[in-house]
Amino acid sequence: MTPLEAAQLLDPDMCAFVTGEASEIFDDVWASLAAWERATLFIVSGAHVFEIDAKLTAGKRAFGYYNILNKNAVVGGHIKYEALGAIAFVSIPFMQLESHCVIFFDKEGNIAFSVYVGRENHQLIDSVKEAFFAGRKAFCESV
């Protein structure tokens, strides 16, 4: 079972999928995340987990990628948006703590990367939590 298949089995209160084609709506979803005060970007590669705690920056499409090139950005790079198959707003406790994230799945159903609601002193940042639920409501049909 892929992570996407597992997410599709979650209760709708825990997991809501973005309506529409992931590659087409990506820019809008990312822009909403870039408006958050702070987030934690998770990238898992093999047995390695990278956590980058920062304010995200919006980018723009060019040459088949969504390019984040702001010279002051902590998180920069090139996202192959056409390789995305689904985007989900997920609320699942992590280590007994309230946790909310946006998961970006590739076309094979694996997790490409995730963006978590930022924390300060182990507590969710209220404004970011509110923005998460506003994004969930704006981008997901069954909320």
What domains can you pick out in the chain, each with its CATH number? 3-139 (3.40.1570.10)
pTM above the 0.75 mark? yes
Quick: pLDDT tens for 44-81.
Answer: 988 999 999 999 999 999 999 999 988 888 888 899 99
124-140 average pLDDT score: 96
Q: What does the pLDDT read at residue 47?
A: 93
d(CA 38, CA 50): 16
Q: Rounded mean pLDDT of the chain?
A: 93
- In this structure, what is the dihedral angle of CA atoms 59, 69, 48, 16, given to the nearest 10 degrees? -10
